[in-house]
A and B are shown apart, each in its own frame.
Chain A
Amino acid sequence: EVQLVQSGAEVKKPGESLTISCKGSGYSFTSYWISWVRQMPGKGLEWMGRIDPSDSYANYSPSFQGHVTFSADRSTSTAYLQCTSLKASDSAIYYCARQVGASAYDYWGQGTLVTVSS
């Protein structure tokens, strides 16, 4: 069974950094890109970017470039999202998803709730 399991909820202070993990199982992890999607409270979905786990090549949405970094560890089938200098506006649910088409994601992580507050 294909699964993407994300790390648990986080509470951070402004200025701190954050790392979210997304562990894939039940499929060949290096065969599919992993994308990251943000959903702010009560808002829609925003594509942050994606990473190819086979070689860790990543491309980022201009809206998030410079603020987030994607990485992947093939040995543990885990993708990571790192965010630095957190602000209150980074409070959101972050999802990882497996890409099977240009904009098609067939499996999603359960989401990681991030709260940034002083």
Chain B
Amino acid sequence: VLTQPPSASGTPGQRVTISCSGSSSNIGGNPVTWYQQLPGTAPKLLIFSNNHRPSGVPDRFSGSQSGTSASLAISGLQSGDEADYYCAAWDDSLNGVVFGGGTKLTVL
């Protein structure tokens, strides 16, 4: 239900952004969450309520939301940032959480 690009890439030190497009029933009316999933591990909470970072998440990660879209920005890209990134939001029509399809980030 949420649309993300399947892949993104950047070189070390660069800034990359990942988009997440939804609708009025999800992103347009509810806060967006972002998760990072490193290979072989459970997802990790990265950003909640559109732009808040849990303690321990570096400020290199930031989120924003406007209308029915959201984006995750990663600055000062590091090799350890190679992972799958997912956006998520509550959907009022489905009465449940919807996830984006995920974006695989490659650090070149």
Please report A residues at the B interface, Cβ cutoff 8 Å: 35, 37, 44-47, 49-50, 59-62, 95, 97, 100-106, 108-111
Q: Which residues of A contact B100 (CB under 8 A)?
A: 44
B98–A47 CB distance below 8 A: yes
Q: Which residues of A contact B97 (CB under 8 A)?
A: 35, 47, 102-103
B74 to chain A, nearest CB (A): 19
Interface flags, B13-33, vs A, CB<8A=1, else 0: 000000000000000001111
B94 to chain A, nearest CB (A): 7
Interface flags, B56-99, vs A, CB<8A=1, else 0: 00000000000000000000000000001010111000111111
Instruction: A44 to B35: give the CA distance in the assembly, Å.
Output: 12
Q: Which residues of B contact A59 (CB under 8 A)?
A: 95-96
In the complex, which of the residues B44, B54, B86, B88 has the most CB atoms of chain A within 10 Å of its own CB atom? B88
A106–B54 CB distance below 8 A: yes
Question: Quick one: given A44-B86, A62-B94, are A104 and B99 in contact (CB under 8 Å)?
Answer: no
Minimum CB distance partner of B47 in chain A:
A104
The binding surface of chain B is classed by DSSP as strand
Chain B contact-residue range equals: 20 to 34
A67 to chain B, nearest CB (A): 15
Question: Quick one: given A104-B33, A109-B42, A111-B42, are A47 and B99 in contact (CB under 8 Å)?
Answer: yes
B45–A95 CB distance below 8 A: no
Is there a chain A Cβ closer than 8 Å to B49's Cβ? yes
Instruction: A110 to B2: give the CA distance in the assembly, Å.
Output: 25
Is there a chain A Cβ closer than 8 Å to B10's Cβ? no
Cβ-defined partner of B48 (8 Å) among A44, A101, A111: A101
Cβ-defined partner of A101 (8 Å) among B31, B43, B86, B102: B31
13 contacts between A and B (CB under 8 A): A35-B97, A59-B95, A59-B96, A61-B94, A61-B96, A101-B48, A102-B30, A102-B33, A103-B88, A103-B97, A104-B45, A105-B43, A108-B43
Instruction: A95 to B97: give the CA distance in the assembly, Å.
Output: 14
